[in-house]
Amino acid sequence: MNKSDLIEALTQRLSNLPAKDIEIIVNTIFDSMTTALSQGDRIEIRGFGSFEVRVRQPRQGRNPKTGESVDVGLRKVPFFKVGKELRERVNNGK
C-alpha cells in the first residue's frame, strides 16, 4: 500500500469527507511525523509501533565497484519497532 492507496481507502470509509480533505489530513500527519523525527523526537502509536532516530557511528566502508576504502561519517537513520498488537495480528493472519 502506498500513500495514494491509503487516501483512497480512507475516502471509501469516510464518505462524508471529500478526497482532497483526506489527502490534506494524510499529508499533515506524515509531515508532522517527519518533523518530529528530524527534531530527534520519538513517535509512539499504541498497538502499531514506534519510530525513533538512531545514530550510526562513523566507520570505514568500501566502494563495491573499486574496492577502495571510504570513510562513512556519522549518520542518523529512522528506525521502526513494531508494536505487540500489530505483530500478533500479522502472525495470526487477522
pLDDT tens digits, 52-77: 999 999 999 999 999 999 999 999 99
The DSSP annotation for 3-28 comes to HHHHHHHHHHH-TTS-HHHHHHHHHH
Which structural domain, as residue segments, surrounds residue 62?
Answer: 42-94
**Same domain assignment for residues 9 and 52:** no
**Same domain assignment for residues 7 and 23:** yes
**Same domain assignment for residues 66 and 37:** no
Spatial separation of the C-alpha atoms in residues 82 and 52, rounded to whole Å: 12
**Same domain assignment for residues 5 and 26:** yes
The tally of domains found in the chain comes to 2
**Same domain assignment for residues 27 and 56:** no
**Same domain assignment for residues 61 and 86:** yes
**Same domain assignment for residues 62 and 84:** yes
Task: Indicate the pTM of the whole model.
Answer: 0.78
Does pLDDT of 94 surpass 70?
no
